[in-house]
Every structure is written in structure tokens, then in C-alpha cells.
Amino acid sequence: MSARLLAGLIFSELMVGAFGGDITGKIILKGEPPQEKKLPLDPQCSAARKIAGQATTRFYVTDANGGLAEVFVSLKAVDGKFDAPSTPVILDQVGCEYKPYILGALAGQKIVVKNSDPVFHNVRTTPRVKENPEFNKAQLPKGRDLDFTYKNPEKFLRFKCDVHPWMFAYVNIVSHPYFAISGEDGSYTIKDVPPGEYEIEAVHRKAHAPKYVGLTKKITVGADGAVADFVVDITK
């Protein structure tokens, strides 16, 4: 083995140690979810809505194979202090719905709420953690962006509009960057997790309410990352 090859191997090992691997997995819903309800859009919102399809609630969003979307997956008890990124998390109001419905932000990271609608909205947050303040801000039609910042971790911190009482979004405030939201097929990826042993948790806003204690697994993240699948069982 040449010295150059050896050096390359050592370097790659160091890089994996520094940047770690990805945790991937899929969330499957077991059981029949209740029928989603149509959103009672008012005429103004219906007129403003340029999105195809009926607006419905998003309690359980699944694909044909049972993949469960919008599940918040994160590592529990991660040591270290992580600075909030300078790029904000974006939450938009489009057709009198929040996009996206579930998202995550690092504690201290700016959450920017946009209003792409030609209608008034108010943006009210209803945190359950006492240290997180409640806000209620007015937003004019296509008005300027509103900024929110939360410093204390909280699962599913609710953003809502009282002008249109069917509009909700939930932001998970986390103390570290190792989290993900499952996609439309139920799969997720948590990138660049340092090697080590962790407990990973998958929480669904509806299935695990009101305490939001989700499903957990012990995993070992190695150079190849790790895989953690979950089954959210709502059968009775």
C-alpha cells in the first residue's frame, strides 16, 4: 500500500469521524386513520386559492404504501452546544393554508412567516413551554414578513391564524441540528450525525398528542450511518 493511499484512507476515516453518517428510515402508519375533513374556506380565501384540489385537514398524510408523512424524527439527549444557523426557517401562508404544515427549527433560529395571500392574516403562536413567549401579530395582505425566534425546545409549537381558524402550522424547536420531518412516502434522513450511540424518537402530531411522547429506538451510528424504521400504530 502506497503512502499516498494510506494517507487517503486515514483522511477519509477522519472525515467520517468529523462529519459522521446519515440516519435514514421510514415511518409506516398501521391502522385506519380517520377521514380528513374539508377546510371551511371562506369566499375570500377560496378566491385567493390557486392550488389544485380540495383543502383538507392534514392529521394523517400517508402514501399508498402506508408511508406516514410529517413525522418529526430527532435524536434525544445530544451533548454539545449548537449555534443557530443564520438562514431562517420559512413558513408561508398560501391559499389560506400554512406551508409547510410541520417543520423544525434550531433553538434561537429565526422563523420567518410570509404572507403570499392577498388577505389579512394574524399569526399567533401558542407555546406550551412557559419560557417560550406567546405572540399575536397582524399581517397585511402580501404584507412584510414577520419574524419569530424561540430559545427553548418545544415539540409542535403551534402557529395559527384566528382570522381563518382552520390555519395551523407546527414548529418543533430543537436544541441540536439532528432532526428531520418525514416526507410524503414516510422516509426521512438526518444528515451528518457523528458516530456514536443514540436514542432516536419519532413523534406524530396527532397520534402522539397531547404529551408528544413518541416512539424511540436505540441506534448506533457508524461510518455508514444507521437505519431506524418506525411503525406508528393507531389500531385500538
Partner 1 sequence: MSDKGAYNPRIHWFAVVTAVATLGLIGVGGIVTSKGVGMAVPDWPSTYGYNMFFFPVSQWVGGIFWEHSHRLMASGVGLLTVLLSVWTFGWGGRKFLRFFLAPLLGIGSLLCFVVAEPQIQDGTLLGGLAGLALGTSFFWPRCQPSPRLIQRLSVAAVIGVIGQGVLGGLRVQLFLDDIGIVHAAVAQLFLVLLASIALFTSRWGAAALGRGVTTTLRTCALGWGLVCLMVLIFGQLLLGATMRHQHAGLAVPDFPLAYGKIWPATDEASVSAANLDRVDPREFNPITREHILLHMAHRVTALVIFAVALLLVVGATKMLPRGHWFANLLILWFALICVQGLMGAATVWSKKAADIATLHVVFGALTLVLGSLLSTISFCLAQAVPRRVSVSVGSLP
**Per CB under 8 A, 122 contacts partner 1:** yes
**Interface stretch with partner 1, choices 61-69, 163-171, 172-180, 193-201 (CB under 8 A):** 163-171
**Per CB under 8 A, 142 contacts partner 1:** no
Residue 56 or 187: the one with the smaller Cβ distance to partner 1 is 56
User: CA 135 to CA 121: how far, in whole Å?
Assistant: 14
Residue 38 or 142: the one with the smaller Cβ distance to partner 1 is 38
Largest pairwise CA distance in the chain: 73
Q: 188 has which bridge partners?
A: 25
User: CA 172 to CA 167: how far, in whole Å?
Assistant: 17
Q: Is the distance from CB of 24 to CB of 193 less than 8 angstroms?
A: no
Give the residue among 199, 212, 142 at the shortest CA–CA distance from 170.
212
Collapsing DSSP states into helix, strand and coil, what is residue 149?
Answer: strand
Residue 15 or 47: the one with the smaller Cβ distance to partner 1 is 47
**Per CB under 8 A, 200 contacts partner 1:** no
**Exactly one of 111, 113, 163, 180 binds partner 1 (CB under 8 A); which one?**
163
**Per CB under 8 A, 210 contacts partner 1:** yes
Burial of 197 (0-12, 13-18, 19+ CB in 10 A): exposed
Residue 36 or 184: the one with the smaller Cβ distance to partner 1 is 36
Q: Footprint of partner 1 on this chain (CB under 8 A)?
A: 34-40, 42, 44-45, 57, 59, 119-120, 122, 124, 134, 136-138, 140, 160, 162-166, 168, 206-207, 209-210, 234, 236
